[in-house]
Amino acid sequence: MHASTTTDRGGGGGGGSWRLPPDETLQVQDPKSKEDDLDGQEGHNWRSIIFSLLVIGFVITGIVTAIYLLGYVDELLYWSGRRMILDEYIQGDLAPNRLTPTWVTRSKFVFQSDDGGLAVLDTANDSVITLLTNHTLRQLNVKGYQCSSDLRYVLFKHNVKQVYRKSFAAFYTVYDVTNDHHMPVTLKDSPKVQRTRLQFAAWLGNTTALVIVADNDIYLRQSPSDEEDIRLTNTGQTDTIYNGVPDWLYQEEIFSSPEAIWGSFDGTHIMYMSFNDTNVNVMSYPWFSAGPMIASSGVTSGGIFPETHTLRYPTPGTLNPEVELWILDVTNITDIQRSRVKPPLSLEGQEYYLTSAEWVAPNHQVSVVWITRAQNLSIISIC
């Protein structure tokens, strides 16, 4: 559509001026283009609404999913793992495997560092040095250790097999820090094909001699590299007579410890307890395993019914284990002196317990705690 414009020229003579009249331009818009604009706005609004609904839907779905999954926290935390077994908790398999720190001398302290190795803290000058790396510990799956006083050797306890709640049998290996050499601790008469577990092994005082308990008897090895062992006792009998390790009653009810042997600081004397369960009544109890192993020919292990195990278990009115305390002088290996620490005179003719024994002087004085079976009299003796 065309718009017209008029002008008025005023003035006279040869000159004049032009003056624009008031703007009377008329603009007309095509109705079809207006409809297109309205359609575009409505389409944009619909897209916004749909997008908003999708966002709200995703949020609601996320909230519902989170609420649902909160009922399965264990599966969230252990998505790629497995459920915990009750036996693992009861037997301590889920406990952190941190090695216990120990004092080696009055100023040196051995502990497990953050990287898993063993380090030595010297409190005299506040310095820390690495004793061995975690690679050495992982090689043997170490569960315990003991350093010699000169820090040249480390005695490892590994491949532990539980016997009772407080007792075990394990492999022991001596690690030479100076030359990175491993020396398995085995008795000379042990089978060569299959290594035998030991009941106990430790350094004797501040020396590099080893005191060993195997099959309820005590042995002495004067150096980690020695292949000859000196047998100190020969009365040990399985489940009957124990030397250097407690029987079931003492390890469970009195010591809460798997050993009953103590070396003097200078390594010249060994104190140990001996337990005789010959007159203790035998208790039988069923032993339930994890389940029988089924082979093609039928049941091959465990059987259909539980096994029967026996245990020397004293009950009220029956006899207790007979306990004795002995001290060995190993200064002269060819002529070992043996002496018994007798109970106080007031306990003669009575049944008693030996609840503790310890070296209280550097080498030649011990403290012993005795208590009657009725537990109405306790005596501490120094000898």
The pLDDT value recorded for residue 58 is 86
The pLDDT value recorded for residue 24 is 57
Min mean pLDDT across 57-71, 301-315, 325-339, 342-356 is at 57-71
CA distance 207 to 220: 12
The pLDDT value recorded for residue 30 is 55
For residue 52, being part of any structural domain is answered with: no
Helix or strand or coil: residue 69?
helix
pLDDT at residue 230 greater than cutoff 80: yes
The pLDDT value recorded for residue 74 is 53
pLDDT at residue 361 greater than cutoff 50: yes
CA distance 173 to 195: 12
The pLDDT value recorded for residue 2 is 44
The pLDDT value recorded for residue 11 is 46
Domain count for the chain, please give it.
Answer: 1
For residue 192, being part of any structural domain is answered with: yes
For the domain that residue 225 is a member of, what is the CATH number? 2.140.10.30
- Band (73; pLDDT cuts 50, 70, 90): low
Between 192 and 98, whose confidence is greater? 98
pLDDT (tens digit per residue) in 171-195: 999 999 999 899 999 887 766 556 7
Query: Cβ distance 139 to 226 under 8 Å?
Result: no
Q: Which residue has the tokens 């002269």?
A: 332
Please state the rounded mean pLDDT for residues 287-309: 62
pLDDT at residue 135 greater than cutoff 90: no
Query: Cβ distance 357 to 330 under 8 Å?
Result: no
Please state the rounded mean pLDDT for residues 51-60: 87
Residue 268's nearest CA partner among 320, 325, 218, 207 is 207
Residue 363's nearest CA partner among 329, 325, 339 is 329
Provide the token pair at 312: 């020397």
pLDDT (tens digit per residue) in 232-281: 999 999 999 999 999 999 999 999 889 999 999 999 999 999 999 999 99
The pLDDT value recorded for residue 303 is 59
Please state the rounded mean pLDDT for residues 303-307: 76
For residue 185, being part of any structural domain is answered with: yes
Please state the rounded mean pLDDT for residues 320-343: 93
Please state the rounded mean pLDDT for residues 218-226: 92
The pLDDT value recorded for residue 244 is 95
pLDDT (tens digit per residue) in 1-46: 444 444 444 444 444 555 555 555 555 555 555 555 555 555 567 7
DSSP letters, 79-141, are TTS-PPPHHHHHTTTTS---PPPEESSSSEEEEE-TTSSEEEEETTTTEEEEEE-HHHHHHHT
For residue 161, being part of any structural domain is answered with: yes
For residue 20, being part of any structural domain is answered with: no
Please state the rounded mean pLDDT for residues 360-376: 88
For residue 102, being part of any structural domain is answered with: no
Buried b (16+ CB within 10 A) or exposed e, 281-313: eeeeeeeeeeeeeeeeeeeeebeeeeeeeebbb
| Domain boundaries, position 354 | 141-289+305-382
For residue 201, being part of any structural domain is answered with: yes
The pLDDT value recorded for residue 40 is 56
- Band (60; pLDDT cuts 50, 70, 90): confident
Please state the rounded mean pLDDT for residues 276-302: 70
CA distances from 196 to 146, 172, 187, 192 (A): 20, 10, 8, 9
Between 323 and 134, whose confidence is greater? 323
For residue 362, being part of any structural domain is answered with: yes
The count of C-alpha atoms lying within 13 angstroms of the C-alpha of 238, restricted to the half-sphere facing its C-beta, is 3
The pLDDT value recorded for residue 78 is 55
Query: Cβ distance 119 to 127 under 8 Å?
Result: no
CA distance 259 to 203: 13
What's the mean pLDDT when you consider all of the chain?
82
Output the pTM of the full model: 0.73
